[in-house]
Structure 1
Amino acid sequence: MKRNIQVLLLLFLGVGLLHISLLTDLYLRYVRPGLRPALIASGVLLIVLGAVSAARDGFPFNRPRTHHGHDHGDGHGHAGGPKVAWLLYVPALTILFLAPPALGSYTASRDDATAPKAPSSGDSLFPALQDTGVVPMSLNDFSARAVWDTSRTLKGHTVRLTGFVTPGRHGTWYVSRLVISCCAADAQVRKVRVHGAAAPPADAWVTVTGTWHPTGKIGTDDASPALDATMVTRVPAPKDPYNDMVVTRPGRPGR
C-alpha cells in the first residue's frame, strides 16, 4: 500500500502541475509568469517518475507476499503504511480539481502595507504626469509618489487605480494589490485608502478614479497613500493578480 500511495501521489501531482501551468493560467495565482517553464518541466518529471515506478512494480500494483504466498498488506507488515498517509492525496487532488484562489484581502488586512523605497541620492526625480485627462497608475507608482515625492507631482491630477477591496477599521477601506518577487509566499502589500465612497464587498476588483489625498508629512514614513474617490467601478479580476501594471477595462459600477 505504501508504494501505491507514493506512485499515485507522483502521478496526481504531475498532472495537477501540468493542469495549472500548461492547460490554464491558474499558476499565476501562486508564482510569477517566468516560472511557468519550470512548473511544466516539474509536472512532466513527476509523471515520468510515477509511470516508471508503476511499470517497475507492475500494474495493477502488486502487493508484496512472503515466500509462503501470504499477503503482508494488512497495514502492519513491512509494506504497509499508516492510514493517515491517504491524507497526502488532499493537496494533490486540490491542485488538480479545486485550485486555491490567489491571495486577497485576508492577507492584505493582516500585513502592513510596504510603500516603495524612497529614491536614493542621484536618482532622477519623479517624472511629471500628463497634463490632461485621467492618469492610469499602478498602486506601486501612486504609493511611491504619495509618500516620497516632495515635488507633489500628484497634485491637481485625476488618477485611476485598479486593485481588490480590503476592508479596514470603522468602515474604512483600501484598494489593494499584492506584489511578488518569486511566489505568493514573499508577497508584499500595496494599499491605498479610499475616501468619499462606500466600500464594495471584500475581494471585489475595482477601478477607483479620484484625486490624491495628502496624509502625513511627505518624504517621511509618516506619509501614507490615500485617494479622494470620484468614481468606483467593479471590474473583472485579472489573470495575473500580482502584476500591478495590469490595466483592466471598467465594468459595472460598484455598490
Structure 2
Amino acid sequence: MRRYGPAVLTLLVGAAMLRISLFSVLYLRYVQSGLRPYLVVSGALLVLLGAAAVVRAAREVADEDQDPHDHGHVHSHPTGPRFAWLLTLPATALLLFPPPALGSYSAAREEAQRAAQGVGTFPALPADDPVDLSVGAFTSRAIYDSGRSLQGRTVRLTGFVTHGDDDTWYITRLLVSCCAADATTNKVQVRGADAPATDTWVTVTGTWHPKGRLGSTAAWPPLLDARTVKKVQEPSDPYEKR
C-alpha cells in the first residue's frame, strides 16, 4: 500500500482545493475572489494527476500479482519511511474541516502603526442616512479627512468584535491585498454599548466622535458613539479589499 501514498496525498490536496474554490466560497477566507479560477484549475490538475498515479500503481501491483516469480523484470518498490503516510493528515483535515477566517487573534498581533498617508480632503459621502461604510473607509476619513466629512453623519459599520484594555471593544475588519497572509487590521472603538463576545460579527450604527489631531497617532483608533448594535452572520467574504 505504500506505493499509493503520493497518489493519495495528491488526490486529497486537489480535492481540498476544489472543495473550497469550486463547490463553495471558503476560498475567500484565504485569497481574493480574482484568484478563484487558478485555484479551480490547480485543484483539477492535482486530482487528475493523483488519479493517474493511482491507476499506474494499481497496474504495477496487478502485474506483480500475475507473475510473482518473474525475475526477468525489475519492479520498483517505494523506500520511503512508513510514517510518510502522516502527510495525508493535513490534507484530509483541510478537506473535511477547513480552518476559519482570520479573526481577533490575527488582529491583536498587529500593533496600531499607520503609514503617514497625509491629511487631505475626501469625496462627499452619499446622502443615505445612515450611510454604509467599510471599517477601512471610516478609519481613513476619521484620521485623514481635513474636510471632516463624517461630522454629524450617522454611519453603519459591519465587522467582528475584538476587545482591548479597560473594557474597551472594537468593531474590526481585516484588509487584504492578495491573500490572508498579507492581512492588516482596521478597527474602530465603539462607545455607549455593551461589548458582545470576541469574534462576534455585528453591525453598529452610530456617529463619529472626533479625537486627536488629524493624521496623528492620537487619532487612532477612531471612536464611534453607538446607537444600535446588531449581531449578524459572518459574510461569505470576511475581508475588506484595498
TM-score per shorter chain, which class?
Answer: 0.7 to 0.9
Q: CA deviation at 1:150?
A: 2.0
* Letter paired with 2:31: V
Tell whether the 8 Å contact from 2:205 to 2:228 is kept in structure 1 after alignment.
yes
Residue 166 (structure 2) pairs with residue 159 (structure 1): no
Identify which of 172, 183, 188 aligns with 1:187.
183
Identify which of 213, 217, 220 aligns with 1:221.
217
Tell whether the 8 Å contact from 1:139 to 1:244 is kept in structure 2 after alignment.
no
* Letter paired with 1:18: L
> Normalising to structure 1: TM-score of the pair?
0.83
Show the counterpart of 1:98: 97
* Letter paired with 2:233: P
CA distance in 2, matches of 1:214, 1:87: 55
Show the counterpart of 1:232: 229
Show the counterpart of 1:253: none
Residue 9 (structure 2) pairs with residue 9 (structure 1): yes
Show the counterpart of 2:84: 85
CA distance in 2, matches of 1:64, 1:125: 76
CA distance in 1, matches of 2:147, 2:181: 35
Q: CA deviation at 1:199?
A: 0.7
Q: CA deviation at 1:17?
A: 0.8
Residue 225 (structure 2) pairs with residue 243 (structure 1): no
Residue 210 (structure 2) pairs with residue 211 (structure 1): no
* Letter paired with 2:5: I
Show the counterpart of 1:177: 173
Cα pair distance change 1:192/1:185, threshold 3 Å: same
CA distance in 2, matches of 1:173, 1:125: 29
Higher helix share: 2
CA distance in 2, matches of 1:244, 1:201: 25
CA distance in 1, matches of 2:192, 2:21: 41
- Paired residue total: 235
Show the counterpart of 1:51: 51
Q: Once superposed, which parts of structure 1, at least 4 consecutive aligned residues long, lie more than 3 Å away?
A: 59-65, 113-117
Tell whether the 8 Å contact from 1:175 to 1:193 is kept in structure 2 after alignment.
yes
Q: CA RMSD in A?
A: 2.7
The secondary structure found in structure 2 opposite 1:171 is coil
CA distance in 2, matches of 1:41, 1:18: 9
Unaligned runs of 5+ in 2: 71-75
Show the counterpart of 2:41: 41
Cα pair distance change 1:125/1:97, threshold 3 Å: same
Cα pair distance change 1:78/1:3, threshold 3 Å: closer
CA distance in 2, matches of 1:208, 1:115: 24
> Normalising to structure 2: TM-score of the pair?
0.87
Q: CA deviation at 1:113?
A: 4.3
CA distance in 2, matches of 1:188, 1:54: 42
Show the counterpart of 2:73: none
The secondary structure found in structure 1 opposite 2:233 is coil
Q: CA deviation at 1:114?
A: 5.5
CA distance in 2, matches of 1:119, 1:218: 9
Q: CA deviation at 1:130?
A: 4.0
Tell whether the 8 Å contact from 2:142 to 2:208 is kept in structure 1 after alignment.
yes
Cα pair distance change 1:198/1:143, threshold 3 Å: same
CA displacement 1:28-70 (0-9 Å, x = unmatched): 11111111100000111101111221222225957989x978x
Residue 144 (structure 2) pairs with residue 145 (structure 1): no
